[in-house]
Amino acid sequence: DCVDGIKASFDKYPVAKVVYSTKALAFGTTDMSTDVKHMIDAGVDFVTTCLDTNGVLTLAREMRQQGMNAIQFLPNAYDHDFMSKNGAFFQNSVVIVQEAPIETTPRFPALQNYITWMGKGGYTMTENAEIGWANADLFVTGLRGAGENFSRQKVIDAINKLTNYNAGGILPPVDWTQQHTNLHYPRSCIGFMQIENSKFVSLWAQPGKPFTCWNGTPATVQDSKPYNQI
């Protein structure tokens, strides 16, 4: 499960020592005082969880209450409305993003097109909205590849021939000939953001290249050879 996966990752790539973990928190838990006390006693300075947004906020508030100053790693917190209201609890915490963040500068054409049309429609730009935009682009790409006499299967077949699909840079490159089964081929990519004054700031990105990528299954951290990708 999630907790075991995190521990296994640190076991394989020992860049830090896991000094406290628990599976005892039920969904919707509102009292994490005991757990935070254990974390303080263990000297925790970096926190990664398997909690939803409400859960990480409950944890952050309790950490603040007990004077615990540790960075949280947040895999599901790229939410501008949530962070504008609660960012004070997450200063310097790290957020990962599957798609090109709207904070990317300079904005490449596909990202600017998404932002422009969302603005014209008065729509809120969220992770799900941008992923939906990319899904629509993938469908259109497959439809074009299938030709005029298209069918559902022809669209699928056209998509499954794509070896470097990225929705114009909105997504990390996907090789559809490989990645139905090999999820880390030939690389893994993600966007990293840091919370500064309740705002998302790109972390480890280069201009116009929002994703940090690394070799898919490195033997060691040193073998990962990270690089930036549009």
All structural domains of the chain: 2-104+186-229 (3.40.50.2300), 109-169 (no CATH)
Q: What is the pLDDT of residue 77?
A: 95
Per-residue pLDDT tens for 143-202?
999 999 999 999 999 999 999 999 999 999 999 999 888 877 778 899 999 999 999 999
- The structure tokens listed for 198 are 């309740």
- The structure tokens listed for 83 are 């962070």
Q: What is the pLDDT of residue 150?
A: 96
The answer, yes or no, to whether residue 84 has pLDDT greater than 90, is yes
Please give the Cα distance from 198 to 68 (Å, whole number).
19
- The structure tokens listed for 71 are 């960075």
Mean pLDDT (the chain, rounded): 94
Per-residue pLDDT tens for 91-128?
999 999 999 999 999 999 999 999 999 999 999 999 99
Q: Give the residue among 37, 48, 59, 33 at the shortest CA–CA distance from 3.
A: 48
Please give the Cα distance from 188 to 192 (Å, whole number).
13
Per-residue pLDDT tens for 190-227?
999 999 999 999 999 999 999 999 987 888 888 888 88
Q: pTM for the full model?
A: 0.90
Instruction: Grade residue 61 by pLDDT with cuts at 50, 70 and 90.
Output: very high
Please give the Cα distance from 136 to 208 (Å, whole number).
22
Q: How many residues does the chain have?
A: 230
Q: What is the mean pLDDT of residues 47-71?
A: 96
Please give the Cα distance from 62 to 69 (Å, whole number).
11
